[in-house]
Amino acid sequence: MSPTSGRLNLLLSHEAMLAILLAVTLLILSLLSDSFFSTANLLNQVRLTAEIGLITLAMTLVIITGGIDLSVGSIAGLSAIMLGLLWQKAGLPLPLAAVTSLGIAVLAGLGNGVIITRFRVPPLIATLATMAFYRGLAEGFSQSRSVRGYPEGFYILGQGEVLGLPTQVWILIVAAVLVGTALSATAFGRTVFAIGANETAARFSSLPVDRVKLIVYGLSGFMSGLSGLLLVSRVTTTRSDMGMGWELDAITAVVLGGASIFGGRGTVLGSVLALALIQCLKSGLSLAGVKADGTIVLIGLFLIGAVLLGNLMDRIAAR
Amino acid sequence: MIPLRVTDVSKSYGGVQALKPTSFDVRAGEIHALLGENGAGKSTLIRIMSGLIAPDSGAIEIDGEIVHFRSPRDATRHGVVTVHQELLLFPDLSIAENICMADDAGPFGHIDRDAQVRKARQLLAELDSADLDPEMPVRHLSVAQRQRVEIARALGRQAKVLIMDEPTASLADADVARLVAIVQRLRGRGVGIVYVSHKLSEVRLLADRVTVLRDGRFVDTREAKGMTEADMIALMVGRSISELYPKGESRIGAEVLRVDGLTLAPRVRNISFTLRAGEILGLAGLVGAGRTEVARLLFGLDRPSSGRIFLDGREVSVSSPEAAVALGIAYVPEDRGAQGLVKTMPVSANVTMASLGQLLRGPFLSRSTEYAAGAEAIRRLGIRAPRGPQHLAGKLSGGNQQKVVIAKWLRTAPRVLILDEPTRGVDVGAKAEIHALMGDLTRQGLAILMISSELPEVLGMSDRVLVVSQGRMTGLFERADATPERVGAAMVAEMQEATAS
């Protein structure tokens, strides 16, 4: 997956390890609770994870460039609010309102990219600021009022099924394949890795560093906006606090998936497996009667374990 | 009494013996040069002597007593201090704080700043560097000045043995002269000095004894007196290199690049020159004279405030590195590790990085074409990469890394190749290979602009030499007229005017 092919085997084994861990977790949870290991429940879990999942895909690219995007949850909230306002207050047809709010989300993401590339603000600072800014916009526009009563057809997105599977499953699969392919098999993906591994050398090699970063943050905005819409359709209402804390869920999945927070390393497959693992733990443990705080502790332990393991593998690879 | 002696030390890394049993010693008041190509085992021996790694076998003796260094700090306590190639100073602390660190802390960790400044000033004066203000942050210092701060720090720690790893690798000639004086002064005070350098002229000037390593093996220790550079090279490479600078005859063709009044104050002021096909134009000057800045302008990394650039007689605008590559301009930067390579990527990914378009099959990169490009580069430039195109670039020796960077640019089929310090930190064998390659390329009609801090390299390789000083052109010499004296005088020309006025 990564061009650092000397490490390819180790990376694959990181993903293999996640897959095994996921299988073991599924097995244990199915023993703990009868209702967990059913097709209906598993598909429902995908439905619940789809929003974070889309953001995780984009976050994988952001983190491989050595950046971070803390504003994803706020952008999701902003696009959700804009959808409600444009449809209900401005009277736009719903499809047009959806496309427009997606456009706003992309602009918000590009805004991050411009601040980072043009003004050389570190991504952590830039998106920390826009996290507050975009959330503030969402709250300002909404005036703390929620929007409800969307037309029935809109709920296909968040609650419906296509060819017998939840709509989100299809969206997630298509998005994961597209992003994964772009990352592993195109010049764009190669540039993403090169930026994270050595941005100066990438620039000195005439790679379009700033353009690729803009695309990556723009994509992050797009995915955030899309997940905002999915959430509205799933819960049938629009509130300005939607998407709070999503950034941490996405970052957790990417890091657990084997990406280096310093950039230059990571895979879409790893991130997706890690996300599935986290979701299984969350839902399975709650079904098994473990309290929410216990679940968080366990996820924290998994994360620390993954980072330690990554360090260990680096040391082995360095020999 | 021998301040430092190692006997039959060896070291293996995962099955590869980096250093076979080797003995080495330094006497008080002696400069002992350690020579060898990259990968010869010098760094391993230095790491053992400075306490960074423990040897697998053998003994270390300080003043005749056997010791075990557990850490560099431990070695320092025994009076063995190392000045590493990449200087290890804290940029935001002052000179005095860097020199003293926490050495003189009071019982509660309190640091007496005035005492630190006094101590620093005294140590700097001993190094003939009273011009450095102890209270200035290290961030503002040049590489040469930082080095003097490191040496002062070593002196402050009562160093009996000072290990200097390529101290002149990134210094211009004027700074080298000053460093040489300082090293001789330290010898006069009875410090034993281990001196590692690729610059044999310095070694011949400074060393009392010379020890040569090759392929992890001890070759010989000899008195330096009477040894020529050719003798040293013969010991290092195991054969003699008759021609150090094989700039062959190449037919110089039509003008390719013309620069007219290029300016980006303060580092580049009104620079004009032409570069012809098949020609090597040497760009000489002191470090900081504006040489690299000229290259950055030509490669689109910076934009000039005024001045024009012509390619084949047509005025062009070089707005970015992408534009430069499209125009056929390539730049091998001075800092291989930071600017030239992505060390965590394999050779194949590095050599194709500036020409990804050539790998595209539809929207996708072709892995097989990429692999073939890596193999082609390895074959054409003689890159020694045991794992082939999959070998990680960062795990190659300096010379082979440099060849990877050059290979990357040759794939873009450039018309103008800018080489910034093409052989810095490169061992003698690879250096000769790079020089031979430059000759081949000019015979194929490539125009080369070469920046180098090594005067013999500039004079040996260039068809013409352009000299800059403080951002201005101070001389342009044909090969026949480019004597060390004339070029050297031009390198410091502007400075003298500045001091005279």
Three-state SS string over B61-106 comes to EECCEEECCCCHHHHHHCCEEEECCCCCCCCCCEHHHHHHCCCCCC
pLDDT at residue A318, rounded to an integer = 59
CB A254 within 8 A of CB A59: yes
For range B41-64, the mean pLDDT? 91
Which residues in A lie closer than 8 A to residue B387 (C-beta atoms)? 6
CA distance, residue B342 to nearest chain A CA (Å): 6
Which residues in A lie closer than 8 A to residue B365 (C-beta atoms)? 185-187, 190
Q: Is B329 exposed, middle or buried (0-12, 13-18, 19+ CB in 10 A)?
A: buried
pLDDT digits (tens, 9 = 90+) for B242-296: 455 656 667 889 999 999 999 998 889 999 999 999 999 999 987 778 999 999 9
- Average of per-residue pLDDT values in chain A: 89
pLDDT digits (tens, 9 = 90+) for A91-119: 899 999 999 999 999 999 999 999 999 99
Same domain for B419 and B391, yes or no, is no
Which residues in B lie closer than 8 A to residue A202 (C-beta atoms)? 342, 353
DSSP structural state of residue B365: E
pLDDT digits (tens, 9 = 90+) for B299-340: 999 999 999 999 999 999 999 999 999 999 999 999 998 999
Provide CB contacts within 8 A for A203, sequence distance 6+: A209, B301, B321
Reading the block at residue B141, the tokens are: 């210092």
* B48 pLDDT higher than 90: yes
With a pLDDT cut of 90, the percent of chain B lying above it is: 51
CB B328 within 8 A of CB B414: yes
* B163 pLDDT higher than 90: yes
Same domain for B408 and B468, yes or no, is no
Q: Where is the domain boundary, B190, B211, B237?
A: B237
**Strands A161-162 and A165-166: what pairing?**
antiparallel
Q: Where is the domain boundary, B381, B412, B443?
A: B412
Reading the block at residue A269, the tokens are: 């497959």
Same domain for B204 and B150, yes or no, is yes
* B133 pLDDT higher than 50: yes
CA distance, residue B319 to nearest chain A CA (Å): 11
Count A/B contacts: CB-CB distance under 8 Å: 82
pLDDT digits (tens, 9 = 90+) for A215-257: 999 999 999 999 999 999 999 888 888 999 999 999 999 998 9
- The pLDDT-based confidence of A142 (bands split at 50, 70, 90) is confident
Which residues in A lie closer than 8 A to residue B339 (C-beta atoms)? 200-201, 204
Same domain for B178 and B188, yes or no, is yes
Same domain for B463 and B447, yes or no, is yes
- The pLDDT-based confidence of A2 (bands split at 50, 70, 90) is very low
Within a domain: residue B359? Answer: yes
Reading the block at residue A199, the tokens are: 């941005």
- Spatial distance between the Cα atoms of B222 and B294, rounded to a whole number of angstroms: 44
Q: Which of B320, B342, B354 is opposite residue A197, by nearest beta carbon? A: B342
Here the CATH number for the domain that contains residue B59 is 3.40.50.300
CB contact under 8 A, A4 and B344: yes
Q: Which of A197, A204, A265 is opposite residue B331, by nearest beta carbon? A: A204
CB contact under 8 A, A4 and B356: no
Residue B255 belongs to domain spanning: 243-328+414-501
CB contact under 8 A, B349 and A3: yes
For range B406-413, the mean pLDDT? 96
pLDDT at residue A66, rounded to an integer = 96
CB contact under 8 A, A201 and B340: yes
Same domain for B258 and B232, yes or no, is no
- Average of per-residue pLDDT values in chain B: 88
Same domain for B121 and B26, yes or no, is yes
CB contact under 8 A, B13 and A319: yes
Is B375 at the interface with chain A, CB within 8 A? Answer: no
Q: Residue with structure tokens 């950039």? A: A263
Same domain for B126 and B155, yes or no, is yes
Which residues in A lie closer than 8 A to residue B392 (C-beta atoms)? 4, 6
Which residues in A lie closer than 8 A to residue B356 (C-beta atoms)? 187, 190-191, 207
DSSP structural state of residue A2: -
ipTM associated with this complex: 0.86
CA distance, residue B360 to nearest chain A CA (Å): 8
Same domain for B97 and B184, yes or no, is yes
Within a domain: residue B333? Answer: no
pLDDT at residue B102, rounded to an integer = 64
For range B46-50, the mean pLDDT? 92
- The pLDDT-based confidence of A3 (bands split at 50, 70, 90) is very low
CB contact under 8 A, A3 and B345: yes
| C-beta neighbour count of B225 within 10 angstroms | 10
* B419 pLDDT higher than 60: yes
The helix or strand, by DSSP H or E, that contains position B166, with its residue range, turns out to be none
CB B96 within 8 A of CB B149: no
pLDDT at residue B314, rounded to an integer = 95
Domain residue ranges in chain A: 51-244
pLDDT digits (tens, 9 = 90+) for B349-404: 999 999 999 999 999 999 999 999 999 999 999 998 889 999 999 988 888 999 99
pLDDT at residue A81, rounded to an integer = 94
CB contact under 8 A, A190 and B387: no
- The pLDDT-based confidence of B235 (bands split at 50, 70, 90) is confident
- Spatial distance between the Cα atoms of B477 and B463, rounded to a whole number of angstroms: 9
For range B447-460, the mean pLDDT? 88
CB contact under 8 A, A185 and B390: no
- Spatial distance between the Cα atoms of A201 and A306, rounded to a whole number of angstroms: 29
* A9 pLDDT higher than 70: no
pLDDT digits (tens, 9 = 90+) for B97-130: 888 876 666 667 777 888 888 889 988 888 888 8
Same domain for B272 and B418, yes or no, is yes
CB contact under 8 A, A185 and B364: yes
Which residues in A lie closer than 8 A to residue B360 (C-beta atoms)? 187
Quote the number of domains for chain B. Answer: 3
* B154 pLDDT higher than 90: no
B242 vs A26, which has greater pLDDT? A26
> What does pTM read for this prediction?
0.78
Give residue B326's Cα distance to chain centre.
30
Is B345 at the interface with chain A, CB within 8 A? Answer: yes
* A126 pLDDT higher than 80: yes
Give residue B119's Cα distance to chain centre.
31
CB contact under 8 A, B344 and A197: yes
Q: Which of A5, A191, A194 is opposite residue B390, by nearest beta carbon? A: A5
Within a domain: residue B361? Answer: yes
pLDDT digits (tens, 9 = 90+) for B20-34: 999 999 999 999 999
Same domain for B389 and B456, yes or no, is no
With a pLDDT cut of 70, the percent of chain B lying above it is: 93
CB B271 within 8 A of CB B294: yes
Within a domain: residue B125? Answer: yes
CB contact under 8 A, B349 and A204: no
* B499 pLDDT higher than 70: no
- The pLDDT-based confidence of A5 (bands split at 50, 70, 90) is very low
Which residues in B lie closer than 8 A to residue A210 (C-beta atoms)? none
Is B108 at the interface with chain A, CB within 8 A? Answer: no
Q: Which residue of A has its CA nearest to B12?
A: A319
- Spatial distance between the Cα atoms of B124 and B133, rounded to a whole number of angstroms: 9
**Rg of chain A, C-alpha, whole Å:** 20
Give residue B363's Cα distance to chain centre.
40
Q: Where is the domain boundary, B392, B412, B432?
A: B412
- Spatial distance between the Cα atoms of B162 and B142, rounded to a whole number of angstroms: 21
Same domain for B190 and B105, yes or no, is yes
pLDDT at residue A26, rounded to an integer = 86
The residue of B301, B334, B345 whose CB has the most chain A CBs within 10 angstroms, and thus the best one to mutate to test that interface, is: B345
Reading the block at residue B204, the tokens are: 């011949």
For residue B420, the SS3 value is: strand
CB B344 within 8 A of CB A4: yes
